[in-house]
């Protein structure tokens, strides 16, 4: 009955009660009268008194009674019956003994009524029949229930026939409405994937569960209901039993209409766990207001939970490799910091030359390499240790402390060794190495600091020549601070000067020029070298700020600045004196700068601006950066080279370029690294290298500059035909101090 709309249910209940009362009254009436015939006349008075009362009650109940003479079969209808049929007072129909059958009863129901009556006559007893009548006055159809009681005499023939009729139209209407409502509810429950249940709180037992439980749990409602006291929790996940119990307590504490929602797992018939959301509300209460029953709805939210889990996983993991990301790493590292025990290690890895894989083999191959590296790193650590990817080609490994620090560092070194074997990707093998910084968890630094320190150590490892492991030292932290200071200085110095000039003490970026002479001492070119001074006018070493620029977004701006100033200077020198048409200007270019898509256009535009020819410019790229240059960079250089711009390999001899490779590069000029010059004239190996490079350059039709010539002895030791650069010929100086005149001739 809980299914029914409460109002309709109440109406139905009321009507049912009324009907039962009326029927009881009718039965009582008949019995009393039968008795009255058989017993003494003393009772007659009381009987009449009672029957008067009963008749009144009957009238009140809308009950019309009649009698039928068993001998003549003539009916006698009482007033209330005519009222029920709508036969007005004074109507001739009132005198018609067949009025009921001919004018009132609907013809379709005639047969049933006659059958019921005949049944009564044949066997005696009480017979109920329900039928429709049409009211005489209004023509309205009504539903009537009739009770006929036949008392049989000793001969088995009817001795007394009494009856009563009651208008049950309202009842029937209510019953239909209830049936409709019931059907609606059943349909709703059947169509809904949600499961409706009612639980008896005290007994802890379900008393109703809707059929959709079949879909939700693959179980029959009867199975759930029959599960007994432990029913609700029998199929609940052990970890969720308490959650559910608490939810029930909470729901019972709610006022009417309140809903308590909770989520837990239930076992499906086929053995998998189903996540459900349960919304429960108080349903039935005891007189004192305690909740006796809870009504609830269960909804399958497994998909929602799975989606939430995926989201949570995505928030904490790198999508490419599936490794923990920075967020999860930080959490794990915090756990490691507070764990105590032997000193754990944070290993910060950055792949060397990974960009080259991307550039030469494509991004898909790059991704494949990263995934393979991720996989290998995981094989190098224990199950409870963490390998995370911070993005790009940076990974962090958290190692638990081994027996002692040496053991831990050995474990860290072993991590790097997984990259000894080349990685297969995009149809070719790639030898990827990594530079690693490692810091030991000392209980003083927090997670963030440890990560920063490991990162700092990694930078040092890179700076020292890659493919190595660097242990963090406090001094590296100062170095990092210094780099940050330099970056700030450089950024300020590169800020364009507006109408208001920079104040005094502002960091400044200037250019120094160093001459290049031919073997006779004639100045054939000038190299522009950047100079940065800090707020106090103290120079910052170029290797430092150029390195900082290369690591940040500043290198493009630095390069553009140098190119513009240097070309303007060359144009000025050309204008200042005749005979300088062959003088070239060399600028240093970082690999990152040359890889920028707009680089070639920028160079050509600058030449154009100063009315210079492409051949007036030399672009110097270090051997290392040329070796690591991707196809786009090489294409750019080739294009410039074909247009006449000269390209020089700087610091030649430090990058192990094969001679064959040299022929494939778009270069015009080789600059022998000053490290070799320093060994002259006594170091035989250096002398050999210088001679070999000079010979090879001549062979290939390339120019050759020997850098770092500081002494006359060194100059004398050089092979013929090479150009010279170095303190002996001129230090890097501001433009107005540079001497472009001929140098001393050779001995
Ligand atoms: P580099 O291109 O090899 O430049 C030559 C370096 O050797 C300069 O150092 C110069 O001062 C130094 N040098 C010249 N003659 C002698 C000598 O006889 N003996 C010794 N010991 N050294 C000599 P500097 O100016 O410190 O520059 C260092 C490096 O910084 C340069 O090496 C170059 O790679 C880079 N660099 C300088 N300016 C720029 C720039 O504007 N852009 C880029 N990308 N790199 C630059
Ligand atoms: Ca140079
Ligand atoms: Ca050089």
Closest atom of ligand 1 relative to the 514 alpha carbon: 14
- Ligand 1 pocket mutation, candidates 588, 624, 715, 731, criterion most atoms within 8 A of CB: 588
**Overall average pLDDT of the 174-179 stretch:** 86
**Burial class of 638 by CB neighbour count within 10 A (0 to 12, 13 to 18, 19+):** middle
pLDDT tens readout for residues 320-347: 999 999 999 999 999 988 887 889 999 9
Q: Which long-range contacts (CB under 8 A, 24 or more apart) does 710-719 make?
A: 710/677, 710/678, 712/747, 713/680, 713/681, 714/677, 714/680, 714/681, 715/746, 716/681, 716/746, 716/747, 717/680, 717/681, 717/687, 717/690, 718/680, 718/690, 718/694, 719/690, 719/691, 719/694, 719/695
Residue 117: helix, strand or coil by DSSP?
helix
Ligand 1 atom 17 nearest Cα: 708
- Ligand 1 pocket mutation, candidates 509, 546, 547, 714, criterion most atoms within 8 A of CB: 546
What is the value of pTM for the model shown? 0.56
How close is the Cα of 435 to the center of ligand 2, in Å? 26
Closest atom of ligand 1 relative to the 530 alpha carbon: 38
CB 494 within 8 A of CB 461: no
Q: Which long-range contacts (CB under 8 A, 24 or more apart) does 118-123 make?
A: 120/148, 120/149, 120/150, 120/161, 121/150, 121/158, 121/161, 123/150, 123/152
Residues 287 and 338: their CA atoms lie apart, in Å, by 56
How close is the Cα of 652 to the center of ligand 2, in Å? 10
How close is the Cα of 732 to the center of ligand 2, in Å? 11
The residue ranking higher by pLDDT, 257 or 498, is 257
pLDDT of 23 strictly over 60:
no
How close is the Cα of 703 to the center of ligand 3, in Å? 15
* pLDDT-derived band at 505, boundaries 50, 70, 90: confident
* pLDDT-derived band at 53, boundaries 50, 70, 90: low
**Overall average pLDDT of the 13-40 stretch:** 46
Q: Which long-range contacts (CB under 8 A, 24 or more apart) does 10-16 make?
A: 11/174, 12/171, 12/174, 12/175, 12/178, 15/168, 15/170, 15/171, 15/174, 16/171
Closest atom of ligand 1 relative to the 622 alpha carbon: 34
The pLDDT of residue 63 is 76
* pLDDT-derived band at 52, boundaries 50, 70, 90: low
Ligand 1 atom 25 nearest Cα: 529
Residues 413 and 425: their CA atoms lie apart, in Å, by 25
CB 157 within 8 A of CB 70: yes
* pLDDT-derived band at 646, boundaries 50, 70, 90: very high
| Cβ neighbours of 591 (radius 10 Å) | 19
Q: Which ligand is nearest to the CA of 545?
A: 1
- On the CB side of 581, CA atoms within 13 Å amount to 2
Scanning the structure block, which residue is given the tokens 């990694």? 458
Residues 6+ apart with CB under 8 A from 520: 742, 745, 746
Residues 360 and 374: their CA atoms lie apart, in Å, by 21
Q: Taking Cα atoms as reference points, which of 589, 535, 531, 585 lies closest to residue 559?
A: 589
Q: Which ligand is nearest to the CA of 512?
A: 1
The pLDDT of residue 719 is 93
Q: Highest mean pLDDT: which of 48-52, 178-182, 507-511, 726-730?
A: 726-730
Structure-token pair, residue 444:
């003083």
The pLDDT of residue 306 is 93
How close is the Cα of 718 to the center of ligand 3, in Å? 17
3-state secondary structure 152-204: ECCCCCEEEEEEEEEECHHHHHHHHHHHHHHHHHHHHHHHCCCEEEEEECCCC
Ligand 1 lining (C-beta closer than 6 Å): 514, 529-530, 542-543, 546, 562, 588-590, 620, 650-651, 674, 708-710, 726-727, 732
Strand partners, 648: 620, 669
pLDDT of 33 strictly over 50:
no
How close is the Cα of 598 to the center of ligand 1, in Å? 25
* pLDDT-derived band at 12, boundaries 50, 70, 90: very low
**Overall average pLDDT of the 558-572 stretch:** 97
The pLDDT of residue 374 is 96
pLDDT tens readout for residues 435-478: 999 999 987 889 999 999 999 999 889 878 778 899 999 898 88
Q: Taking Cα atoms as reference points, which of 274, 278, 284 lies closest to residue 245?
A: 278
How close is the Cα of 94 to the center of ligand 3, in Å? 134
pLDDT of 9 strictly over 50:
no
The pLDDT of residue 61 is 63
Strands (E), 54-96: 63-68, 75-77
CA 281, chain centre distance (Å) = 33
pLDDT tens readout for residues 625-638: 888 788 889 999 99
- Ligand 1 pocket mutation, candidates 515, 542, 728, criterion most atoms within 8 A of CB: 542
Sign of the alpha-carbon dihedral angle for 43, 45, 51, 53: negative
Strand partners, 273: 267
How close is the Cα of 620 to the center of ligand 2, in Å? 6
pLDDT tens readout for residues 691-723: 999 999 999 999 999 999 999 999 999 999 999
How close is the Cα of 553 to the center of ligand 1, in Å? 21
Ligand 1 atom 12 nearest Cα: 708
* pLDDT-derived band at 658, boundaries 50, 70, 90: low
**Overall average pLDDT of the 90-110 stretch:** 91
pLDDT tens readout for residues 237-255: 999 999 998 999 999 999 8
CB 261 within 8 A of CB 278: yes
Q: What residues have a C-beta under 5 A from ligand 3, the ion?
A: 650-651, 707
């Amino acid at each position: 009955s809980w299914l029914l709309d409460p109002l309709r249910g109440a109406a139905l209940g009321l009507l049912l009660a009324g009907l039962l009362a009326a029927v009881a009254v009718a039965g009582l009436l008949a019995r009393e009268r039968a008795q009255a015939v058989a017993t003494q006349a003393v009772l007659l008075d009381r009987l009449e008194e009672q029957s008067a009362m009963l008749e009144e009650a009957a009238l009140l109940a809308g009950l019309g009674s009649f009698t039928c003479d068993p001998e003549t079969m003539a009916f006698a209808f009482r007033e209330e019956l005519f009222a029920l049929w709508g036969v007005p007072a004074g109507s001739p129909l009132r005198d018609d003994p067949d009025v009921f059958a001919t004018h009132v009863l609907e013809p379709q129901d005639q047969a049933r009524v006659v059958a019921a009556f005949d049944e009564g006559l044949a066997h005696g007893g009480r017979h109920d029949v329900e039928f429709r009548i049409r009211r005489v006055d209004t023509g309205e159809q009504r539903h009537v229930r009739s009770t006929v009681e036949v008392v049989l005499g000793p001969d088995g023939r009817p001795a007394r026939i009494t009856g009563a009729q009651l208008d049950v139209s309202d009842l029937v209407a209510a019953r239909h409405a209830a049936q409709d409502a019931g059907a609606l509810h059943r349909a709703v429950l059947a169509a809904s994937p949600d499961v409706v249940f009612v639980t008896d709180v005290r007994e802890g037992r379900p008393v109703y569960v809707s059929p959709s439980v079949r879909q939700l749990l693959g179980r029959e409602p009867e199975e759930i209901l029959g599960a007994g006291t432990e029913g609700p929790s029998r199929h609940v996940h052990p970890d969720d039993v308490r959650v559910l119990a608490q939810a029930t307590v909470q729901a019972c504490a709610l006022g009417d209409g309140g809903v308590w929602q909770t989520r837990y797992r239930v076992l499906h018939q086929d053995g998998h766990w189903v996540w459900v959301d349960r919304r429960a509300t108080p349903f039935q209460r005891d007189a004192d207001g305690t909740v006796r029953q809870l009504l609830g709805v269960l909804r399958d939210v497994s998909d929602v939970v799975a989606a939430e889990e995926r989201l949570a996983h995505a928030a904490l993991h790198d999508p490419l490799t599936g490794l923990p990301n920075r967020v999860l790493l930080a959490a794990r590292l915090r756990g490691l910091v507070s764990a105590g025990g032997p000193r754990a290690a944070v290993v910060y890895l950055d792949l060397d030359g990974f960009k080259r894989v991307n550039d030469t083999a494509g991004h898909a191959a790059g991704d494949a390499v990263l995934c393979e590296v991720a996989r290998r790193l995981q094989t190098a650590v224990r199950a409870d240790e963490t390998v995370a990817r911070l993005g790009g080609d940076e990974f962090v490994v958290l190692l638990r402390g081994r027996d002692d620090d040496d053991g831990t560092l050995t474990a860290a070194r072993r991590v790097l060794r997984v990259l000894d074997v080349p990685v297969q990707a995009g149809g070719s093998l790639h030898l990827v190495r990594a530079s690693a910084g490692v810091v030991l968890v000392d209980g003083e630094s927090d997670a963030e600091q440890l990560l920063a320190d490991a990162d700092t150590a990694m930078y040092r490892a890179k700076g020292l020549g890659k493919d190595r492991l660097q242990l963090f030292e406090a001094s590296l932290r100062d170095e990092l601070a210094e780099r940050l200071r330099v970056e700030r200085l450089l950024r300020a110095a590169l800020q364009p000067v507006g109408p208001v000039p920079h104040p005094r003490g502002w960091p400044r970026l200037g250019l120094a020029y160093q001459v290049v002479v031919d073997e006779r001492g004639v100045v054939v070119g000038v190299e522009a070298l950047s100079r940065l001074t800090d707020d106090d006018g103290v120079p910052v070493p170029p290797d430092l700020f150029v390195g900082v620029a290369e690591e940040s977004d500043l290198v493009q701006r630095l390069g553009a600045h140098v190119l513009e100033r240097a070309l303007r200077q060359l144009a000025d020198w050309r204008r200042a004196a005749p005979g300088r048409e062959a003088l070239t200007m060399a600028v240093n270019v970082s690999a990152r700068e040359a890889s920028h898509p707009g680089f070639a256009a920028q160079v050509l535009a600058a030449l154009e601006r100063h009315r210079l020819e492409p051949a007036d410019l030399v672009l110097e790229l270090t051997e290392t950066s040329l070796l690591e240059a991707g196809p786009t960079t090489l294409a750019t250089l080739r294009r410039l080279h074909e247009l006449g711009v000269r390209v020089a390999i700087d610091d030649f001899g430090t990058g192990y370029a094969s001679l064959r490779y040299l022929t494939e590069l778009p270069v015009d000029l080789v600059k022998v690294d000053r490290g070799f010059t320093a060994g002259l004239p006594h170091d035989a190996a250096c002398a050999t290298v210088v001679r070999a490079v000079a010979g090879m350059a001549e062979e290939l039709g390339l120019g050759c500059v020997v850098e770092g010539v500081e002494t006359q002895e060194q100059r004398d030791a050089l092979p013929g035909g090479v150009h010279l650069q170095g303190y002996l010929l001129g230090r890097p100086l501001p433009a107005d101090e540079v001497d472009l005149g001929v140098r001393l001739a050779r001995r």
